[in-house]
Chain A
Amino acid sequence: MSSLRVIAALFVLYAFVSSVFVLGTMALDVEDVALSAIEGAELAVDLAFEAVLEAEGAGANVSGLLDELNDGAEALSKAYISNRVGNFDDAVYFADLCGDLVGSVEAEANELRDVAVVDRNHRLLLSTLGSVLALVCIFYGGFFGWRFFKSRYHRRVLQMKPEVASNES
């Protein structure tokens, strides 16, 4: 009888300890999942921002992309805050939401950058052609203009009549 009691007591103790252990492990798992989701969202935002900066450097208008990034950043803030106050389910939700919101930004930024680079090269080509044309005009215009001016100057000098100045002193 007493051995049965001991076994029953041990069983209850085991059940209690294992439940505490399992619950603790589950809590750790949930926290790890939240941290992992936040790290994934962070990386997505960082990569998207890098792409947006490249597009901006190439001369693209990135205001629309910044709006999309801001939606993602707001969700990421909420994920951090939820994680900090121990609300791991919300942290995972907002981190995933952030990932969804900024997921397409990198590709859009790359597209905008490519368009901006092509547009810039086109403008550079036009500008170069315009400058070369203008330089040719200036040099030819200058050369022939100078020759015309010089011949006119000489003609005017040769047509001048000498004047005799009286010495009244």
Chain B
Amino acid sequence: MNLEECKSVFAVTVLGLTLVAAFPTVSMVLPFPSGGERFSELWLLGPDHMAEGYPFNVRGGEVQGPIYVGVSNHMGSSEYYVVYVKFRNQTQPLPNATASEPSPLLPLYEFQFFLADGETWETPLFFTVEDVLFQDDTVSTSRISINDVVSSVNASTKWDSGYSGFYYQLFFELWLYSRDLQTFQFHDRFVGIWLNMTVF
């Protein structure tokens, strides 16, 4: 190795050591973007904390559950969430996640909570469909109890000959607090379970 080559190796070594020495200070002053996609998870689990065994055949007045609603925060900072619980028949509208539109139905129950980045929240939920009335090919219900809070609903559903049942859906919408708008916005996520109303 001649002197010029040694000089190059020496210069590169000094430059590398300079960068190493300056990095801690530079990293405190300059904000480095954190990599990765920012998102939230919403899930629903059955009584055994598995994605199975959800309540399906439901009789009026019978307590159902627990089912577990969970949310996980991967947004890069602490977030403020609300989960709205809604109830619909087959003709009432679901949320449109691709258009960021929540269901226009009023919530029957809600959970508000704060989550640090990387943390999860989960809560059990019990529900009872009350005042169920079977009439010919129609079932109607006027009340539903969620975690012992009774709400009025006015939903009737017709016999679904394709799936042989009277179907309702209990679904959960995830909303996120927007700091810019200072209000909650639909976070494009929802999950739900189908309920088949039965007499026996």
Contacts and interface: CB of A to CB of B under 8 A. Distances in A.
Q: Do A and B form a real pair? A: yes
Interface of A: 45-46, 49-50, 52-53, 56-57, 62-63, 66, 69-70, 73-74, 76-77, 80-81, 84-85, 120, 123-124, 127-128, 130-131, 134-135, 138-139, 142, 145-146, 149-150, 153
Contacts of A62: 78, 116
Interface in B98-127: 106-116
Interface in B1-47: 3, 6-7, 10, 13-14, 17-18, 21-22, 24-25, 28-29
A142 B25 contact: no
Contacts of A45: 80
A139 B116 contact: no
B199 interface: no
Contact of A52 (B17, B21, B78): B78
Contact of A50 (B6, B21, B109, B179): B179
Interface in B125-162: 149-152
B194 interface: no
Helix, strand, loop or mixed for chain B's interface? Answer: mixed
Contact of B10 (A120, A124, A134, A149): A149
23 contacts: A46-B177, A46-B182, A49-B80, A53-B179, A56-B77, A56-B78, A57-B77, A66-B78, A66-B114, A66-B116, A70-B113, A73-B80, A74-B113, A77-B82, A77-B111, A85-B149, A85-B150, A85-B151, A124-B25, A128-B25, A138-B21, A145-B10, A150-B3
Contact of B28 (A49, A52, A66, A127): A127
Contacts, number: 86
Contacts of B106: 84
Helix, strand, loop or mixed for chain A's interface? Answer: helix
A139 B14 contact: yes
A51 B13 CA distance: 46
A127 B25 CA distance: 5
Contact of B77 (A50, A53, A130, A149): A53
Given A85-B151, A149-B6, A138 B18 contact: yes
B17 A130 contact: no
